[in-house]
């Protein structure tokens, strides 16, 4: 049988191999092209992105806290400074077990409960890559012990910081205020990027009100780290911008004198310049040491301060509400003259009491047997209640409210420290709104002598008497004198003039001021016993006694047996407002001494220092910190 042989088609095989080779080549060319394009895309378009990711393996962008601005008084005396300290910080992201790390750290560096609680609190409000202070103010021995053991604590480091300090301590705590650890609520109200390296923020007073000026602007450093995360060198940095230095209108020596004069009494002193509105001193007693709040204190220590019967945290100058008492009488008299409700020569007979028509209620004068026949001058000099009962009834509550409002009572003064209360100017509408009961004529009678519902702060009392000293000119009370950016000349703050108090008859100013001068110089005056007739400066003033506990008869100075026998908490407050010299007032003062008769004596001590330069018991604290070269010319 014959077999057929299969012949190969070489041409077809060659064509098949060629086709397959070309297909493979095309696929390879496509893949190579795609690879080249991808490499080009990564190298060019994504260069910045992957460079950043790469650098994050060995570089850190670290925010740098700006230096907080300093605070000085008007003479260049340092009131708030920054002291260098060492702190132990933790970076949570670099620490595998925070609780274990804290336990081990506590074996070499003592940690109290307050420090641990504060760290745990801040741990919740910071991002994990941020440095969180664990312990401030490390000693040299503690720093040395930590460095010996640092290899055991990844993410823990010693950092040099500046921490706030108040050289005068309690003397200015209610005004300057203090800084404290920043919390979540406060972070919501600031630029978080600008506070990324900041652990402290102003909590009270000037520190809080001028936080934006004092804080400054955050800086940044690009740091190269070693394998343990410790910085080796700084590759690039943006310097932080320090906060502004502030110069306040305060005179620290006058502040300390006022504080010493008030020592031992709860109360307040406010002193200002009538011609500018600059605050020279603001004292609230008792006070507290603001440095306690910088490091943080335990809840127990804070509760002791907060619940202390003397209320040291309570700023009486701005938030203390007191009856105006007889310090209201100059304004009532001024309105009586200006509305022609009374005249300088109009007289009444004071038997020691006053009774409204068709009423059985008797309103007693502080002098049981009365002052006899009195005119306006006599009524102001001897503080005759009966005269003002009659004048208030005749004038009506509308006139009383109007004159007090024009002198700034019942509203915020606008001082640049915040936290103040507006006080109360009582009226029929106010009583109906707040008490739900109608106004009575007896309310008007009480209002005319500064009792009843009328209330004012010591700052308002000082502002009121300053307006009277200026014969109606009003200036915004303020504490900021000038501010200074780093390396620049200080910028003085402009004085703000407010709407003046205008009278129909300008001579009425002189009548009231003359009467207030007689309060001091006349033997009949309620201020005569405290000042007398041998004063080295002229002064116009008014005493007042704010009733705390009802006694049928009491004198203007509270000198009666019943007062002395009462528990201290039930005794009257004494008030004193004044300005001096009379012709060209340089100073206006308001003093309130709670449950004490000594307001006028306290004012005398302060005014003697201001005008004569005598400094009994004056501790010129912080004198070594005086920086005249950096102080502006004021």
Active site residue ranges: 326
Handedness of CA 476, 574, 329, 579 (dihedral sign): negative
Q: Which two tokens stand for residue 531?
A: 């000042």
Closest CA to 200 of 217, 219, 186: 186
CA 229 to CA 313: how far, in whole Å? 44
Q: What is the largest CA-CA distance in the chain?
A: 169
Strands 267-272 vs 587-593: parallel, antiparallel or unpaired: antiparallel
Query: Is the Cβ–Cβ distance between 370 and 425 less than 8 Å?
Result: no
Q: Distance (Å, rounded) from C-alpha 270 to C-alpha 282? A: 5
Neighbours of 338 (CB within 10 A): 18
Query: Burial of 494 by CB count in 10 Å (0-12 exposed, 13-18 middle, 19+ buried)?
Result: exposed
- Alpha-carbon separation of residue 489 from 81, 244, 483, 630, 633 (angstroms): 20, 11, 9, 10, 10
Query: For residues 580 and 578, what is the distance between their CA atoms, to the nearest angstrom?
Result: 7
**DSSP state letters, 562-598:** HHHHS-GGGSPEEEEEEEESSSS--EEEEEEETT-S-
Q: Are residues 548 and 592 in contact, defined by beta-carbon separation less than 8 angstroms?
A: no
What is the b/e burial string over 301-324, where b = at least 16 CB atoms within 10 angstroms of the residue's CB? eeeeeeeeeeebbbbbbbbbebbb
Tokens at residue 364, please?
């007693």
The strand pairing partners of 153, in sequence order, are: none
Closest C-alpha among 198, 181, 158, 166 to residue 67: 198
Q: Evaluate whether 267 touches 148 at the Cβ level (below 8 Å).
A: no
Backbone torsions φ then ψ of 505, nearest 5 degrees: -125, 110
Alpha carbons 542 and 380: distance in angstroms, whole number? 8
């Amino acid at each position: 049988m014959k077999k057929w042989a299969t012949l190969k088609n070489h041409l077809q095989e060659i064509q098949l191999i060629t086709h397959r080779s070309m297909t493979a080549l095309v696929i390879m060319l496509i893949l190579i092209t795609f690879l080249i394009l991808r490499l080009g895309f990564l190298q060019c378009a994504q260069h910045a992105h992957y460079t950043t990711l790469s650098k994050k393996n060995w570089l850190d962008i670290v925010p740098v806290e700006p230096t907080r601005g300093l605070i000085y008084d008007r003479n260049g005396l340092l009131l708030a400074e920054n002291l260098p300290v060492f702190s132990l910080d933790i970076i949570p992201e670099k620490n595998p077990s925070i609780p274990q790390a804290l336990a081990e750290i506590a074996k070499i560096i003592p940690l109290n409960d307050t420090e641990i609680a504060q760290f745990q609190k801040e741990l919740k409000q910071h991002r994990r890559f941020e440095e969180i202070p664990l312990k401030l103010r490390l000693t040299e021995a503690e720093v040395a012990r930590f460095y010996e053991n640092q290899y055991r604590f990844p993410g823990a480091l010693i950092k040099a910081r500046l921490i706030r300090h108040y050289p005068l301590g309690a003397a200015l705590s209610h005004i300057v205020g203090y800084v404290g650890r920043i919390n979540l609520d406060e972070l919501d109200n600031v630029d978080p990027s600008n506070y990324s390296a900041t652990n402290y923020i102003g909590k009270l007073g000037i520190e809080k009100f001028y936080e934006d000026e004092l804080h400054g602007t955050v800086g940044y450093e690009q740091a190269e780290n070693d394998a343990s995360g410790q910085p080796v060198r700084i590759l690039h940095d943006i310097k932080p911008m320090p906060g502004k230095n502030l110069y306040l209108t305060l005179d620290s020596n006058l502040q300390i004198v006022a504080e010493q004069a008030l020592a031992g009494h709860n109360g307040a002193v406010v002193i200002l310049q009538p011609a500018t509105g600059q605050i020279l001193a603001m004292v609230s007693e008792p006070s507290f040491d603001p440095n306690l709040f910088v490091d943080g204190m335990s809840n127990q220590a804070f509760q002791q301060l907060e619940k202390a019967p003397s209320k040291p945290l309570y700023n009486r100058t701005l938030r203390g509400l007191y009856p105006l008492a007889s310090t209201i009488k100059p304004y009532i008299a001024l309105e009586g003259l200006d509305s022609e409700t009374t005249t300088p020569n109009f007289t009444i007979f004071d038997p020691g009491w006053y009774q409204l028509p068709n009423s059985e209620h008797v309103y007693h004068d502080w002098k049981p047997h009365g002052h006899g026949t009195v005119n306006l001058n006599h009524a102001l000099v001897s503080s005759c209640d009966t005269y003002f009962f009659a004048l208030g009834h005749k004038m009506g509550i509308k006139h009383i409210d109007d004159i007090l409002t024009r002198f700034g009572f019942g509203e915020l003064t606008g001082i640049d420290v915040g936290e103040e209360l507006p006080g109360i100017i009582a009226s029929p509408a106010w009583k109906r709104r707040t008490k739900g009961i109608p106004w009575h004529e007896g309310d008007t009678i009480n209002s005319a002598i500064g009792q009843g519902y009328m209330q004012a702060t010591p700052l308002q009392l000082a502002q009121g008497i300053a307006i009277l000293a200026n014969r109606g000119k009003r200036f915004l009370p303020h504490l900021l004198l000038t501010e200074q950016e780093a390396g620049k000349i200080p910028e003085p703050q402009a004085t703000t003039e407010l709407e003046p108090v205008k009278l129909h008859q300008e001579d009425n100013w002189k009548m009231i001021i003359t009467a207030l001068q007689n309060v001091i110089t006349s033997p009949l005056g309620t201020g005569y016993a405290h000042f007398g007739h041998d004063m080295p400066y002229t002064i116009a003033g008014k005493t007042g006694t704010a009733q705390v506990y009802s006694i049928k008869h009491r004198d203007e100075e509270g000198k009666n047996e019943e007062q002395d026998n009462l528990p201290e908490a039930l005794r009257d407050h004494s008030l004193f407002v004044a300005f001096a010299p009379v012709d060209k007032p340089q100073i206006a003062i308001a003093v309130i001494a709670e449950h004490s008769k000594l307001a006028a004596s306290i004012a005398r001590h302060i005014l003697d220092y201001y005008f004569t330069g005598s400094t009994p018991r004056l501790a010129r604290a912080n004198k070594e910190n005086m920086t005249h070269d950096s102080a502006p010319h004021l």
